């Protein structure tokens, strides 16, 4: 069978066994794997991302006859669906995935069950009109005020078990704390928690499960009672003076604008939100503890370096999120990943699979608490319906992790079989047994440990907090003025693999960071950099030369790659000037390994000052051309690049004047031939005196955000609750790129090529701005 539907033409059938049953609603035959897929089978229930690996790799959009849904498994396709909520309506988000039996329907009718539109399943324009009215409860300041309440709840629960030595954390607190927080946040009286828990389970099974005919009736009873209960609580709240909480905000808005925040909405939301706000967070917390504790070394790292907790929580949401699939329905024939989904087609976006897509996340199956784009995960959805409560959920997970890593670092996961409530969308273990030796509780030695809390700012994790400690195992002069440094994991594990072009940010004592490219060899489990002492520089390299010795520890971020080697070309010309050889030698190593044709031009002041010569001569002798100025050899770029060569890519690294010469010399080469890496970005930093304020309209989230003269676009987006990944925050890396739909851009970055700039369709949000008064962004 053909296996790349994404590459086949729009609407064409990737599987040419025409006429063979079964056939999808678009007329395409269904592949055997698609025909066999059932989300209620064990593989999906145990690990949805793994169960869809075949789909990510071979058939990323397929029709599942057993489910009657189109299943979408790749990151980019899922995001494209989330982006366009007119073509892909969320109206079925809370529909029963398994239709009710007649008996169950009769039960629901008896309870007058009438779950309709809330926010999550409401179409435009009603949805945004409502959402905008209800955003005030989610500003960072308002959420910040809930932190002490969360902290106290977690602390009390932990106090209750801390001397016990063994517990099921789900039963002891992961369920109840988020439920209490949710009720508190909503302003709903905290009564009958056990009953609410049973109601939630019934609601989940009813909406996303496949209950057996007997279970159907029981589930319907639970759902009916939940509906009644929600109505009673709502009426009680409506009859009281306005109290604190989001539900009271809704009741108030319902009084003021009954056509926007409707009566029917209030009752449906009352029921849906209790689940949305607590079950998601409870399961996410259980998943996170399971994942972290099943990797004792990672847990130990987190205990040693609690600064990483927000990043770790985010990575757990990516790796093992609590919402694993979400639904949309096509309102017209629409193409997704090369497949035409017909109007009325129901879509199951397996976000857990998108979160493991190697096209977006490097080594996606690894739980890497240092990952710097974890925030791109789809567990909170994306676009105008993206989870409103994400920052409350994040806060709860972080406080749980912070209390446990500090007060019970010796915590261990017990050997156990995990069970899950069978459903398509909500996922987390029903119990999580852990044990510890209370005699080792740190607070027995030092009672201050109990109180020594660390707080984190509300919002997405900050990239600059993702810092790793590494030990220097070698620091030797590599060439004149060049220090070669080898770094290893302090606990003796292998450091993560990296790709050619990657660099590390070495954090200086001042908190500033300097970038040093990894030079390899790439496979060794440790990292090598070579640092040129630059007397006239800002002081980073002098600090490295004066301080770095074998045995000391350094703080680094990365590896990060802003200078990726495209491995698809036939031929390569690599050009290095001076210390710019460091990423280039790693590229040469890789090209040699791939058996590609490459030449390596390396220019420097003198042989004695040129780093890594011995290894270059040993490993790349045939490809190597050396230009030592002292010996009168000059690299003549004009003649090297005079004739553009077919399917050849140019990679260059070195001083700015070499890069400019490369850019000028290759201007007549095909667009995209040249790749260079800049290490400084003059002009990227904000100078408020010379800036003007502007406005951005966000098409996906349907918000308008003001960017003041003294703030970057990125800062303004974050303040509005829009998560945009970032890294360098100085226009060098490309991680904060945002698509621009309208408006003239004032580009300040070093990432985009001239024609990418001219296209006026994207910008780096950390530094670039509007030329005029307004931009429209695809965010």
Interface region with ligand FES, contact rule CB under 6 A, candidates 148-156, 169-177, 692-700, 720-728? 720-728
**Least CB distance from residue 118 to ligand HEM, whole Å?**
7
By the 8 A CB rule, do 315 and 369 touch?
yes
CA–CA distance from 670 to each of 81, 121, 637, 650 (Å)?
A: 33, 47, 17, 11
Exactly one of 62, 75, 174, 185 binds ligand HEM (CB under 6 A); that residue is: 185
Token pair, residue 57, equals: 């790799």
Write the binding mask 304 to 333 for ligand HEM: x where contact by CB under 6 A, - elsewhere.
Answer: -----------------xxx--x-------
Token pair of 560 as six digits: 């990060």
Please give the size of the binding site for ligand HEM, defined by CB under 6 A. 27
Does the footprint of ligand HEM cover residue 131 (CB under 6 A)? Answer: yes
Contacted entry of ligand FES, ligand HEM, none for residue 323, CB cut-off 5 to 8 Å set by kind: ligand HEM
Residue 29 binding partner per list ligand FES, ligand HEM, none, with a CB distance cut-off of 5 to 8 Å that depends on partner kind: none
The interface mask with ligand FES, positions 735-774, x = CB under 6 A, is xx------------x-x------------x-x--------
Tell me whether residue 94 or residue 733 sits nearer to ligand HEM (CB atom). Answer: 94
Shortest distance (Å) from residue 460 CB to ligand FES:
13
Q: Which is nearer to ligand FES, 157 or 515 (CB)?
A: 515
Stretch that binds ligand HEM, among 95-103, 106-114, 277-285, 632-640 (CB under 6 A): 277-285
Residue closer to ligand FES (CB basis): 376 or 478: 376
Min dist. Cβ of residue 728 to ligand FES (A): 4
Determine the Cα–Cα distance for residues 480 and 606; give it in Å rounded to an integer.
Answer: 9
Nearest CA among 490, 515, 480, 706 for reference residue 608: 480
CB of 93 closer than 8 Å to CB of 359: no
Per rule CB under 6 A, is residue 505 in the interface with ligand FES? no
- 154 part of the interface to ligand HEM, by CB under 6 A: no
Least Cβ distance, residue 343 to ligand FES (angstroms): 39
**276 interacts with ligand HEM by CB under 6 A:** yes
Neighbours of 41 (CB within 10 A): 13
Structure tokens at 734: 């490309």
Choose from ligand HEM, ligand FES, none: what does 694 bind? Cβ within 5-8 Å by kind: none
Residue 22: asked if its preceding bond is cis (omega within 30°), the reply is yes
Partner whose binding site includes residue 766, from ligand HEM, ligand FES, none (CB under 5 to 8 Å by kind): ligand FES
Can you tell me the distance from the alpha carbon of 418 to that of 427, in angstroms, rounded to the nearest whole number? 11
Q: Is the peptide bond before 316 cis (omega within 30 degrees of 0)?
A: no
Are 756 and 408 in contact by the 8 Å Cβ rule? The answer is: no
Residues near 22 by beta carbon (within 8 Å), at least 6 away in sequence: 29, 30, 35, 65
As a whole number of Å, the CA-based R_g of the chain is 28
Q: Which of residues 49, 94, 119, 674 is near ligand HEM by CB under 6 A?
A: 119
Task: Provide the CB-side half-sphere exposure for 653 (13 A, CA).
Answer: 26
CA-to-CA distance for 298 and 751, rounded, in angstroms?
Answer: 33
> Dihedral of CA 211/213/218/220: which sign?
positive
Going by their DSSP bridges, the two strands 334-336 and 166-168 should be labelled as unpaired
Region binding ligand HEM by CB under 6 A among candidate stretches 46-54, 164-172, 248-256, 386-394: 386-394
Distance between CA atoms of 160 and 171, rounded to whole angstroms? 13
Q: Counting contacts by CB under 6 A, is residue 200 touching ligand HEM?
A: no
Q: Which of 284, 303, 681, 714 binds ligand HEM (CB under 6 A)?
A: 284
**Cis bond leading into 125, ω under 30°?**
yes
Closest to ligand HEM by CB, 124 or 443? 124
Q: Where does this chain touch ligand HEM (CB under 6 A) — which range of 64-72, 219-227, 381-389, 698-706?
A: 381-389
Q: Cβ–Cβ contacts within 10 Å for residue 446, how many?
A: 10
Distance CA 391, CA 401 (A): 15
Residue 613: which of 635, 588, 648, 590 has the closest Cα?
588
Among 366, 627, 734, 741, interactor with ligand FES by CB under 6 A: 734
The answer to whether 779 contacts ligand FES (rule: CB under 6 A) is no
Q: Is 707 in the site for ligand FES (CB under 6 A)?
A: no
Residue of 101, 305, 386, 760 interacting with ligand HEM (CB under 6 A) = 386
- Output the smallest distance, CB 581 to ligand FES, in A: 24
Q: Which is nearer to ligand FES, 279 or 749 (CB)?
A: 749
Site for ligand FES in 270-299 (CB under 6 A): none
Query: Which residue of the chain is nearest ligand FES when measured via CB?
Result: 766
Q: Choose one: 216-224, 341-349, 651-659, 723-731; the region binding ligand FES (CB under 6 A).
A: 723-731
Candidates 90, 345, 481, 654: give the one binding ligand HEM (CB under 6 A). Answer: 90
Q: How far apart are CA 68 and CA 359, in angstroms?
A: 27
Whole-number Å distance between alpha carbons of 535 and 404: 46
**Which range in 448-456, 464-472, 535-543, 727-735 contacts ligand FES by CB under 6 A?**
727-735
- Nearest-approach distance from CB 392 to ligand HEM, in angstroms: 4
- Cα(424)–Cα(426) distance, rounded to whole angstroms? 7
Choose which of 262, 561, 609, 726 interacts with ligand FES (CB under 6 A).
726
CA distance 391 to 10: 39
Chain-centroid distance of CA 264 in Å reads 35
Among 88, 113, 382, 563, indicate the residue that binds ligand HEM (CB under 6 A).
382
Residue entry with tokens 């994400």: 390
Instruction: Give the C-alpha distances (Å, rounded to integers) separating 703 from 135, 143, 145, 550, 722.
Output: 11, 20, 24, 52, 10
Tell me if residue 486 falls in helix, strand or coil.
strand
| Residue 63 is a binding residue for ligand HEM (CB under 6 A) | no
| The one segment of 231-239, 383-391, 465-473, 654-662 that binds ligand HEM by CB under 6 A | 383-391
CB of 377 to ligand HEM, least distance (A): 9
- Cα angle, residue 651 at apex, residues 647 and 656 outer, rounded to 5°: 140
- Which of ligand FES, ligand HEM, none does 732 bind, CB closer than 5 to 8 A by kind? ligand FES
Strand order of the sheet with strand 737-742?
Answer: 703-707, 694-698, 774-777, 737-742, 762-764
Our finding on whether 281 is near ligand HEM (CB under 6 A) is: yes
CA–CA dist 701, 632 (Å, integer): 60
Check residue 62 for interaction with ligand HEM (CB under 6 A).
Answer: no
731 binds, among ligand HEM, ligand FES, none (CB under 5 to 8 A by kind): ligand FES
Nearer to ligand FES, 407 or 515 (CB): 515
| Binding partner of 131, given ligand FES, ligand HEM, none, CB within 5-8 angstroms per partner class | ligand HEM
Determine the straight-line distance between the first and last CA of the chain, rounded to whole angstroms.
37
Q: Which residues bind ligand FES (CB under 6 A)?
A: 726-729, 731-736, 749, 751, 764, 766
Contact residues toward ligand HEM (CB under 6 A) are 82, 90, 119-120, 131, 185, 276-277, 280-281, 284, 321-323, 326, 379-383, 385-389, 392-393
């Amino acid at each position: 069978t053909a296996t790349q539907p994404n590459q086949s033409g729009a609407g064409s059938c990737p599987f040419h066994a025409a006429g063979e049953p079964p056939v999808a609603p678009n007329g395409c035959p269904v592949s055997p794997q698609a025909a066999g897929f059932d989300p209620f089978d064990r593989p999906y229930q145990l690990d949805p991302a793994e169960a869809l690996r075949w789909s990510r790799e071979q058939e990323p959009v397929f029709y599942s006859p057993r489910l009657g849904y189109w299943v979408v498994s790749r990151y980019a396709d899922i995001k494209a669906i989330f982006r366009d909520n007119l073509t892909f309506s969320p109206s079925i988000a809370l529909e029963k995935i398994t239709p009710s039996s007649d008996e169950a329907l009769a039960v629901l009718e008896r309870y007058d069950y009438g779950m309709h539109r809330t926010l999550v399943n409401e179409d435009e324009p009603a949805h945004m009109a409502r959402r905008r009215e209800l955003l005030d409860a989610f500003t960072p300041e308002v959420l910040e005020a809930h932190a002490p309440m969360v902290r106290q709840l977690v602390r009390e629960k932990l106090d209750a078990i801390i001397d016990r030595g063994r517990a099921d954390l789900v039963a002891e607190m992961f369920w109840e704390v988020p439920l209490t927080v949710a009720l508190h946040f909503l302003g709903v009286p905290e009564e009958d928690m056990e009953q609410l828990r049973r109601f939630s389970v019934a609601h989940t099974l009813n909406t996303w499960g496949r209950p057996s005919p007997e279970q159907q009736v029981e589930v319907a009873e639970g759902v009916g009672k939940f509906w009644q209960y929600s109505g009673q609580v709502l009426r009680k709240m409506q009859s009281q003076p306005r109290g604190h909480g989001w539900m009271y905000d809704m009741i108030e808005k319902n009084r003021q604008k009954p056509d926007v925040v409707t009566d029917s909405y209030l009752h449906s939301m009352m029921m849906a939100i209790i689940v949305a706000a607590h079950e998601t967070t409870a399961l996410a917390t259980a998943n996170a503890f399971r994942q972290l504790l099943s990797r004792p070394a990672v847990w130990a790292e987190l205990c040693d370096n609690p600064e990483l907790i927000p990043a770790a929580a985010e990575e757990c949401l990516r790796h093992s999120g609590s919402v694993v699939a979400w639904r949309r329905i096509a309102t017209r024939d629409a193409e997704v990943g090369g497949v035409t989904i017909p109007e009325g087609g129901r879509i199951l976006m397996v976000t857990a699979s998108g979160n493991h897509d190697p096209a977006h996340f490097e080594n996606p199956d690894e739980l890497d608490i240092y990952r710097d784009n974890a925030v791109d995960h789809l567990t909170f959805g994306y676009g105008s319906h993206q989870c409103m409560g994400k920052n409350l959920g994040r806060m709860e997970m972080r406080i749980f992790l912070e209390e446990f890593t500090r007060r019970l670092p010796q915590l261990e996961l017990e050997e156990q079989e995990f069970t899950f409530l069978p459903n398509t969308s909500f996922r987390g273990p029903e119990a999580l047994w852990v044990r510890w030796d209370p005699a080792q509780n740190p607070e027995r030695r030092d009672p201050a440990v109990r109180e020594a809390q660390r707080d984190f700012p509300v919002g997405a994790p900050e990239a600059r907090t993702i810092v790793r400690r590494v030990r220097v195992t070698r620091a030797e002069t590599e060439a004149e003025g060049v220090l070669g440094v080898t770094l290893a994991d302090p606990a003796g594990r292998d450091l993560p693999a990296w790709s050619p072009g990657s660099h590390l940010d070495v954090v200086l004592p001042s908190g500033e960071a300097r970038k040093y490219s990894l030079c390899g060899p790439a496979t060794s489990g440790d990292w090598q950099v070579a640092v040129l002492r630059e007397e006239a520089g800002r002081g980073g390299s002098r600090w490295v030369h004066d301080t770095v010795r074998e045995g000391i520890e350094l703080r680094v971020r990365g590896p990060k790659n802003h200078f990726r080697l495209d491995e698809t070309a036939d031929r390569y010309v690599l050009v290095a000037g001076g210390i710019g050889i460091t990423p280039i030698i790693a590229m040469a190593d890789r090209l040699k390994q791939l058996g590609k044709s490459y030449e390596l031009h390396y220019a420097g002041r003198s042989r004695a000052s040129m780093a890594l010569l011995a290894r270059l001569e040993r490993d790349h002798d045939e490809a190597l051309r050396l230009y030592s100025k002292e010996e009168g050899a000059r690299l003549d770029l004009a003649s090297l690049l005079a004739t553009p060569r077919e399917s050849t890519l140019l990679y260059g690294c070195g001083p700015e004047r070499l890069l400019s010469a490369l850019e000028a010399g290759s201007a007549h080469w095909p667009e995209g031939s040249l790749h260079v890496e800049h290490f400084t970005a003059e002009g990227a930093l904000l100078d408020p005196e010379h800036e003007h304020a502007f406005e951005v309209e966000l098409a996906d989230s349907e918000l308008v955000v003001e960017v003041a003269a003294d703030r970057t676009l990125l800062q303004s987006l974050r303040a509005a609750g829009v998560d945009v990944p970032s890294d360098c925050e100085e226009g060098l890396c490309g991680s904060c790129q945002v698509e621009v739909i309208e408006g003239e851009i004032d580009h300040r970055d070093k990432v985009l090529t001239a024609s990418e700039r001219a296209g006026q369709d994207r910008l780096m949000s950390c530094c670039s701005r509007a030329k005029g008064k307004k931009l429209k962004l695809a965010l």
